[in-house]
Amino acid sequence: MKIEEVKSTTKTLRIATHSHVKGLGLDESGYAHQSSAGLVGQELAREAAGIVTDMIKSKKMAGRAVLLAGPPGTGKTAIALAIAQELGSKVPFCPMVGSEVYSTEIKKTEVLMENFRRAIGLRIKETKEVYEGEVIELTPAETENPMGGYGKTVSHVVIGLKTAKGTKQLKLDPSIYESLQKEKVEVGDVIYIEANSGAVKRQGRSDAFATEFDLEAEEYVPLPKGDVHKKKEVIQDVTLHDLDIANAKPQGGQDIMAMMGQLMKPRKTEITDKLRKEINKVVNKYIDQGIAELVPGVLFIDEVHMLDIECFTYLHRALESSLAPIVIFATNRGKCTIKGTEDVISPHGIPLDLLDRLMIIRTLPYSQEEMSQIIKIRAQIERIDISDESLQALSEVGVKTTLRYAIQLLTPGSLLANINGKQLIGREEVEEINELFFDAKSSAKVLSEQEDKYMK
């Protein structure tokens, strides 16, 4: 009889290109460790990014932009993601690629504006009246169903809440009983009920029950202090784009015509400038009153040379706005023509007047030793065993070709090692895989040698 263990699928995530990047890897005084937090080398670029992060945290960076410039595969995107990790999860980070603006359904400037607003967060503080405590009683009172028949309906529900100061019995509407069931509230849970909206939030199980079971996937929370009925500050995080979307959607009725109207609408509706101005007015009013706080996030535009002259002009105005995020550009181009012009050549394909506003951070090609360190980190992330000798061989391949190509050979190499019945990737596997696949340079060489055999 064969018994197989069923493995959980919740933890297995697809490994992204930069899933090993956990931060900038700087010490307290802002100097970069040679290899830390998933980043290797690029010490000067990382230290510069650290200063940018400090400026963002101290809110001295609004309306400015940073440009990460360097050859392909020198860690520009990795540094941008590291900045996002350093700022923390509460700061909005919106990544996009330059070519995303060329959509058939929506204007170029609209795409840019949408992403700008996605990168600006608003932290709203509300003081709400709540009933909070540990549930000591939960009894639904039933009556005869007014529709007839044998079924009974819940007329009201009596709930007893206990805090460190005292207890209270509440008589609640049947609709709140449904929310209690949805949240799976039982006696012994700590909950709070908003007085005006009737929303129920289960916070966890009371820690008085913590010793009941040895193994339980439950979060235990202490018994709330103070009275059952009190005022509580609730903090919500939204982005300006969320507010735009919420106000742009027509709130139709529940009838079939309203439903049809929503279905027939095109997928992307442009949010008007007028609506945004109105939202900005309300947001500014909230900020002045101290209800809300603006959290400028980071907008990361990769391959910025793909933007055309119109987009760059628009970016100028958007960067000067009072509600502007911190913009990080990345490009791997040298001197090239600005898209949308015939003969205007500029460094990185960005107009000179915009370049003047940018703080430029350079990334430099990796040395062979740094490449082998990066390949080792990637091998650990992808759970691939590799010998030191083959690491050396892969880093040699990386120096001749590119780092990206060397990392791409890892998985095929491990498959080949499995076929050969080995646990580790050896030097022979690296050499064989390198012969099977071509990198860009060797492919171009073959093309130039056999030019006459290909279509012109």
Question: What would the pLDDT profile of 102-116 be if each residue is shown by its tens digit?
Answer: 877 788 888 888 888
When mean pLDDT is compared across 189-193, 310-314, 331-335, the lowest value belongs to 189-193
Give domain status of residue 20, yes or no: no
The residue among 184, 206, 236 that closes a domain is: 236
Structural domain of 404 = 368-451
Selected residue with higher pLDDT from 380 and 261: 380
Q: Cβ contacts of residue 302 below 8 Å, gap of 6+?
A: 76, 77, 80, 95, 96, 97, 98, 330
The distance from CA 305 to its chain's CA centroid, rounded to whole angstroms, is 24
Summarize the confidence of residues 174-203 as an average pLDDT.
79
Residue 250 — pLDDT band, cuts 50, 70, 90?
low
**231, 196: one domain:** yes
Q: What is the DSSP letter of 339?
A: B
Query: How many Cα atoms within 13 Å fall on the side-chain side of residue 456?
Result: 1
Residue 251 has pLDDT above 80, yes or no: no
Q: Which of 163-167, 250-254, 283-287 has the highest mean pLDDT?
A: 283-287
- Report the pLDDT value the prediction gives residue 257, as an integer from 0 to 100: 53
Give domain status of residue 283, yes or no: no
The residue among 211, 236, 261 that closes a domain is: 236
Distance, in Å, from the CA atom of 156 to the CA atom of 171, rounded to the nearest integer, reads 7
**108, 62: one domain:** yes
Distance, in Å, from the CA atom of 82 to the CA atom of 84, rounded to the nearest integer, reads 5
Residue 260 has pLDDT above 60, yes or no: no
Give domain status of residue 30, yes or no: no
**70, 100: one domain:** yes
Query: How many Cα atoms within 13 Å fall on the side-chain side of residue 54?
Result: 10
Residue 14 — pLDDT band, cuts 50, 70, 90?
very low
Summarize the confidence of residues 65-81 as an average pLDDT.
86
Residue 70 has pLDDT above 80, yes or no: yes
Give domain status of residue 138, yes or no: yes
**227, 165: one domain:** yes
Contact status, residue 238 vs residue 118, Cβ threshold 8 Å: no
Q: Hey, which residues does 330 pair with through a beta bridge?
A: 68
Give domain status of residue 265, yes or no: no
- In the three-class reduction of DSSP (H, G, I as helix; E, B as strand; rest coil), residue 331 is classed as strand
- Report the pLDDT value the prediction gives residue 29, as an integer from 0 to 100: 80
- In the three-class reduction of DSSP (H, G, I as helix; E, B as strand; rest coil), residue 29 is classed as coil
Q: Hey, which residues does 157 pair with through a beta bridge?
A: 140, 172
**114, 132: one domain:** no
**343, 382: one domain:** no
- In the three-class reduction of DSSP (H, G, I as helix; E, B as strand; rest coil), residue 276 is classed as helix
Selected residue with higher pLDDT from 282 and 23: 282
Helices vs strands, H then E, count in the chain: 15, 17
**42, 104: one domain:** yes
Distance, in Å, from the CA atom of 312 to the CA atom of 283, rounded to the nearest integer, reads 27
What average pLDDT does the structure give for the chain? 79
Q: What is the per-residue pLDDT across 407-447, written as a single tens digit (0 to 9) for each? A: 888 888 888 888 888 878 878 888 888 888 888 888 888 88
Give domain status of residue 256, yes or no: no
Distance, in Å, from the CA atom of 319 to the CA atom of 311, rounded to the nearest integer, reads 12
Number of domains making up the chain: 3
CATH label of the domain that carries residue 402: 1.10.8.60
Comparing CA positions, the residue from 315, 355, 311 lying closest to residue 331 is 355
- Report the pLDDT value the prediction gives residue 43, as an integer from 0 to 100: 85
Type of residue found at 197: S
Distance, in Å, from the CA atom of 79 to the CA atom of 328, rounded to the nearest integer, reads 10
Selected residue with higher pLDDT from 63 and 300: 300
CATH label of the domain that carries residue 85: 3.40.50.300
Residue 2 has pLDDT above 70, yes or no: no
Residue 264 has pLDDT above 60, yes or no: no
Give domain status of residue 286, yes or no: no
The residue among 206, 236, 266 that closes a domain is: 236
Helix (H) / strand (E) element for 456: namely none
- Report the pLDDT value the prediction gives residue 173, as an integer from 0 to 100: 78
Give domain status of residue 161, yes or no: yes
Q: Which stretches of 207-331 are assigned E, i.e. beta strand? A: 220-221, 229-239, 292-296, 298-302, 326-331
> How are beta strands 120-144 and 152-162 bridged, if at all?
antiparallel
CATH label of the domain that carries residue 217: 2.40.50.360
Q: What is the per-residue pLDDT across 27-58, written as a single tens digit (0 to 9) for each? A: 888 788 888 777 887 888 888 888 888 887 77
**pTM of the predicted structure, to 2 decimals:** 0.69
